[in-house]
Amino acid sequence: MGLERYLRQFPLLGKIENRSWLEAACRIWDGFEQSCSWEDTEQAMLNINPVKGTLADYIRAIMSISYESAKILSSVYSLDIDFDILLLSAFLHDTSKLVEYEKTADGYRKSYIGEIYQHGFLSAHSALNENLPEEVVSNIICHTPQSNHKICTIEGIIIAFADKMITSSKEIAGLSI
Ligand SMILES: [Fe+2]
């Protein structure tokens, strides 16, 4: 695992104080990288339609929006936000997209794994396997509209709204979802 590489690729990982959680999160990315069809995960697409951009850009955006929002919420409203939980959840919530989509000869498509598992399930499973906090597992499971379970943490709410902000902005801008 190249922790330095992840810190360069996703700089806000450097704000995570718990080193063992950070290393576990990078191992999870490593695992998905090794089993995905993308040679370079910077090229991995977020979704079927290329106008949605890359997964890596999206993760960086979610981490930044979530981090800045959490700073405001904690300073103005004194909300008790765990920034390690927040950043770990933001970093991992969509990692399973690396295997939920796959490259084809002329583009990419949803994979068999992407068809049979609910989005995020594999990320949550990996987080559980790495003994990351239950809140991280829950935030990953609940972040998607596919989930039938309500979001249970402040950190999860922040990430879900960051996700919605990006998706809704693209809708209004006329970009395909
Ligand atoms: Fe997602």
Q: For the chain, how long is the longest CA-to-CA vector?
A: 52
Domain 18-171 architecture: Orthogonal Bundle (1.10)
What is the tens place of the pLDDT at every residue in 31-62? 999 998 888 878 777 776 654 678 899 999 99
pLDDT at 8: 96
Q: Residue 177 pLDDT more than 60? A: no
How far, in Å, from the CA of 93 to the mean position of ligand 1? Answer: 6
Q: Residue 133 pLDDT more than 60? A: yes
How far, in Å, from the CA of 96 to the mean position of ligand 1? Answer: 9
Q: Spell out a b/e string for 13-29, using b for 16 or more CB atoms within 10 Å of the CB, else e.
A: beebeeeebbebbbebb
- Phi, psi at 101, each rounded to 5°: -125, 155
Q: Residue 95 pLDDT more than 80? A: yes
Q: DSSP assignment of 3-32, as one string?
A: HHHHHHHSGGGGG---HHHHHHHHHHHHHH
Q: What is the pTM of this model?
A: 0.92
How far, in Å, from the CA of 144 to the mean position of ligand 1? Answer: 5
How far, in Å, from the CA of 89 to the mean position of ligand 1? Answer: 11
